[in-house]
Structure 1
């Protein structure tokens, strides 16, 4: 489980990462990544009603939080990540979702280095 102090909660933080960060997409999700000046890395999740009902959305969020709990410590300090789940994420199994998150984060990191 991703500890609360690593979770992004401010709407301004979400907007900043989504507007100014690099973007990488997969069929199940879109990852936005931005290097901030903060000492710790953070992750935020956007799961809309298009994904499904409340039970489905909460399952997707729990899966994404578990994936990021493992992935966030491997990222450089000060990395902010927002994951926007797409409707296909509701029918995706955990391993496929994990693979998509890791691939998208790696692609966004490469884009951030090139920018």
Structure 2
């Protein structure tokens, strides 16, 4: 029997998953993952959901108007309902973020995007591989660059 898939509904739940910084970007979607057991959380929602996996969906206004966002969310829900029972891990929270191509991408391609994202985001390299405070390699953040320093 496949495990029941719970839902993430509140903003703090989504923010906890985003704070884990474990994500994978695919052409049709973005997947963020949080392993609940490793963070030592003991919130009421985590205790109520037991050991099952939970999934949340978000689609920003960049994707389109409300009709397009709802259509993208429905497509993502259908993909998750097919893929997560076999590949989703218990004690994990997943946030699936819709992209512009979620609307036009073939359904089979969306399913393969989710499969690849789950595999990549939940590998041992995915968890705990947080970058330093500088961000990407070659970042040019600093007080000496930019228009503010040219005026001095």
Please name the residue that 1:79 is paired with. Answer: 92
Contact 1:42-1:72 within 8 A present in 2 as well: no
What is the count of residue pairs matched by the alignment? 112
**In structure 2, do the counterparts of structure 1 residues 9 and 77 end up closer, same or farther at CA, with 3 Å as the change threshold?**
same
CA RMSD of aligned residues (A): 2.0
Contact 2:6-2:53 within 8 A present in 1 as well: yes
Q: Deviations over 1:16-50 (max 9, x none)?
A: 11111411111222110111135110001110111
Structure with bigger RCO (C-alpha 8 Å, 6+ apart): 1
Residues in 2 aligned to 1:113 and 1:23: alpha-carbon distance in whole angstroms: 9
Residues in 1 aligned to 2:63 and 2:79: alpha-carbon distance in whole angstroms: 18
Please name the residue that 1:6 is paired with. Answer: 6
Q: Deviations over 1:44-92 (max 9, x none)?
A: 1110111112222111111111111222223221111001111121221
1:48 has 2:60 as partner? yes
| Structure 2 residue corresponding to 1:98, chosen from 111, 116, 128 | 111
Instruction: Give the 3-state SS of the residue equivalent to 1:49 in structure 2.
Output: coil
Residues in 1 aligned to 2:21 and 2:83: alpha-carbon distance in whole angstroms: 18
Normalising by the residue count of structure 2, what TM-score does the alignment of the two structures yield? 0.66
Bigger proportion of residues as helix: 1
Normalising by the residue count of structure 1, what TM-score does the alignment of the two structures yield? 0.85
Give 1:112 deviation, angstroms.
3.5
